[in-house]
Structure 1
């Protein structure tokens, strides 16, 4: 049974009357005090694991965060999603009156999102961390530090809040607040404008997201059991290939025994003789033992990798568990990852930032918006890009100018502004010619 921290406090008579964070210690053993003890905050993830023991799968394995991340496929999926979100630029854009758009570099939020969310994290580190926590727990929270820029309120910092210390609360009149339990100090109530809440798209109550550890624990438990069984087989199991039996009453003489032993040692040992069979004498019968392959342990592990792929939406080949050659399908795999896995996270990030980090006046004006630049993940090979830009610059239905193509490769624009006479081919960039 899973016990929440609040339920444990009520059952144990815990109170916060002093306004200070109380701690739990291991009980005193009969006959004297415990010489070694552990202290944990009631609201810390460590204490939650201590009370709940993680979540027990049907296989008997207790699945917690540490065990889950030891699963190579699960770690790969979480790492791939989190690092992809972290490395992609996040820009604040502005819609102008003439219908065009540009980057809102003059807005304080632009630098917070693109460069420095706080004083101790880069944009990559902040987004990767928040994405990882949202995957594991379903929810990630950051404290919004507001200030004034040009006489107007603006977000100056986004500071991650410790896991397990924040709970969203919706009142009967639909006012959203957040209960925050800091490591040191009494519980406080924060207004919605002071908390950046990023959560998993799937929610059971409309407030909190659903974490992977809550829904994938059975598959992770089965995978851990299969790994443990295989490790035990390798460490304590019999590694002999089989047994040689002789008919009842038949004993080998010393010469026959030495010949057989020499054959095993010289003709059938080592990697070069793997899988070879013996030539027996005197009516002997060879009976092979079961192997890890025949016990289908490997197939069980592969099945769990497929389950991880389903839970995370990461394509199976990107979990490094596909026996086929990728070949020209790498671009399609990248497109699959962006379309069916990352796009929903892009939208979740963009709308969460706009909801929490723009003032109500800015939201009502509908001029500012946040956009992930996923172009880096969708680019094909240089040959494919050359073919695309050649058509984009063509005479029939051209929709790009040379300077726009140069900007895609972070090259400086030409002084003529990129305009070319109709019918004249676009010159190759000097950097390409030099190469």
Structure 2
């Protein structure tokens, strides 16, 4: 392909944002030398050039530990939680439905359910969209094949349906109808078709954090870190200098820490202290952690391994906030995308996909024991759960013989007893 063949005149026909179309390789498309995306492509490849001077792409953003932690935390949470297909009427698992096995255990021959969902969620955070090709057989979903979102183009047809054009590694393209693609998108969107990328939206914050990291790295590479200064009122004699130098070399190392130093000729020892400029650099890096976490749903600082927040009993509340406000929107995105793309017209009113987030919302063992005790009716409370329901919540198998009720507890309403 010639260098000028990457240009194409005319208005773009796809609904994807401009920074997605300016991709390297066969998928790169520009609409003239005056296209501002062409300058961005020449300067920074597929990344966005920020005001801080850093070029932020998905690959470079993942080298920032805050971005890596946010993406991995959300992706692993989505991957590890049970996702099952169940009936809408009685909430029982639909184990007989072929989609149950695909979602719960084996989406394709080389990935587990955890690996597939983690990858899809990771790409949805990085690019705003995640795609998987649906392999159908006689109306049944057999496999879900993940597709690289950087090589996917979307076109909305006159009948409002979508056509997905995927660029293969050999340069060829494949047109896929909407029925053959599972599309997980970020809820934030400019056109309702492509989701907004958290990495691209937070490019300025990520770029500033990268520049702060580079400045700290250059300090350790090129700077001079002084532990203290020996001050002399005049000029140190050569003999005293050699004795002092030999003494300092002999006292170096961890085994000689906190040993006393003998100074000569009226010398003073002045320990080095951190400058205000150094403190400002540390504060700026801490601020960028908070700025980046906001772009990924407000991940609480303790979950980002920040030690400036108490890890006491409030950590349970922060964990619940993470589930409710960071993960719950993604639960809805997954569940509704599955019902839209993987369930037929006959099944969509009978079955539903559901995440079980109970494991992340549970409190301490003491709190759980108190809750279940009251739910079973201890302490004079009206019972609202049975023992088999408690075992189901705790992911325990059913028991063949029900346990006897606690002393003084029959499981009946006291108002039903004769006076």
Normalised by the length of structure 1, the TM-score is: 0.77
1:371 aligns with 2:361: no
For residues 243 and 417 of structure 1, what CA distance do their matches in structure 2 show?
Answer: 76
Q: 1:334 to 1:277 in 2, by over 3 A?
A: farther
| Deviation at residue 382 of structure 1 after TM alignment | 1.8
Structure 2 counterpart of 1:11, from 7, 13, 16: 7
Q: Hey, what's the Cα distance between the residues in 2 that align with 1:375 and 1:285?
A: 60
SS of residue matched to 2:7: helix
- Would you say the 8 A contact 2:301–2:309 is kept in 1? no
Q: Does the 8 Å contact 1:230/1:292 carry over to 2?
A: no
| Displacement of 1:283 | 8.4
- How far residue 338 of structure 1 moved from its aligned partner, in angstroms, is 0.3
1:165–1:181 contact (8 Å) kept in structure 2: yes
Superposed, 1:90-169 pairs within 5 Å as 90-96=83-89, 100-148=90-138, 153-169=139-155
Match of 1:89 among 82, 90, 109: 82
The equivalent residue for 1:384 is: 367
Q: State the distance in 1 between where 2:136 and 2:193 align.
A: 23
In 1: Cα distance, 2:41 partner to 2:80 partner: 32
1:333: how far off? 2.2
Asked if the contact 1:268/1:274 (under 8 Å) is kept, the reply is no
Distance in 2, matches of 1:293 and 1:171, equals: 57
Residue matched to 1:343: 328
Question: Structure 2 residue aligned with 1:216, among 179, 193, 202?
Answer: 202
Unmatched runs of 5 consecutive residues or more in structure 1: 14-39, 427-435
Verify the 8 A CA contact 2:358 2:393 in the aligned structure 1.
Answer: no
Match of 2:417 in 1: none
- 178-187 vs 197-206, greater mean Cα deviation: 178-187
Is residue 399 from structure 1 mapped to residue 392 from structure 2 by the alignment? no
Deviation at 1:108, TM superposition (A): 0.9
Distance 1:9 1:384, change over 3 A: farther
Deviation, structure 1 residue 397: 2.3
Shift of 1:190: 1.9
1:355 to 2:328 alignment: no
Aligned-partner Cα distance in 2 for 1:226–1:245: 33
Could you tell me which of 312, 324, 330 is aligned with 2:315? 330
Q: TM-score, normalised by structure 2?
A: 0.80
Whether the aligned pair in 2 keeps the contact of 1:142 and 1:159 (CA below 8 Å) is yes
Aligned partners of 1:403 and 1:418 also within 8 Å: no
* Farther off after superposition, 277-286 or 299-308: 277-286
Q: Does 1:203 align with 2:189?
A: yes
For the 8 Å contact 1:177–1:190, the answer to whether it is kept is yes
Equivalent residue number for residue 34 of structure 1: none
Cα deviation digits, residues 262-296 of structure 1 (max 9, x gap):
67557798687679999785587969586597352
Q: Aligned partners of 2:112 and 2:199: how far apart in 1? A: 27
Offset, 1:94: 1.0
Using the TM superposition, give the Cα deviation of residue 233 of structure 1 relative to its aligned residue in structure 2, in angstroms. 1.0
Listed as ranges, the gaps of 5+ residues in structure 2 are 10-23, 29-39, 412-419
Residue range with higher mean Cα deviation, 71-80 or 182-191:
182-191
Post-superposition shift, 1:147? 1.4
Shift of 1:379: 1.7
Distance 1:242 1:381, change over 3 A: closer
Match of 2:295 in 1: 311
Give, in whole Å, the separation in 2 of the partners of 1:200 and 1:193. 20
Within 5 A, what are the aligned runs for 1:40-51?
41-43=25-27
Moved more, 222-231 or 53-62: 53-62
Q: CA separation in 2, counterparts of 1:228 and 1:54? A: 18
Q: Distance in 1 between matches of 2:94 and 2:225?
A: 66
Encode CA deviations 1:60-98: one digit per residue, 9 max, x unaligned: 1222223211111111111110000001111111134xx
Cα–Cα, structure 1 residues 170 and 12, in superposed 2: closer, same or farther, change >3 Å? closer
Asked if the contact 1:219/1:307 (under 8 Å) is kept, the reply is yes
> Alpha carbon RMSD of aligned pairs, Å?
3.4
Q: CA deviation at 1:224?
A: 1.3
SS at the partner of 1:103? coil
Give, in whole Å, the separation in 2 of the partners of 1:223 and 1:118.
38
Q: State the 1:418 CA deviation.
A: 7.0
Match of 1:67 in 2: 60
2:230–2:267 contact (8 Å) kept in structure 1: no
> Which whole-Å deviations, capped at 9, do the CAs of 1:191-226 have from their partners, x for residues lacking one?
111111001111111110111221111111111111
Query: What is the CA–CA distance in structure 1 between the aligned matches of 2:70 and 2:250, rounded to whole Å?
Result: 46
1:41 offset after TM fit, Å? 4.2
SS at match of 1:296: helix
Distance 1:412 1:359 in 2: 32
Deviation (angstroms), 1:318: 0.3
User: Which 10-residue stretch deviates more, 319-328 or 131-140?
Assistant: 319-328
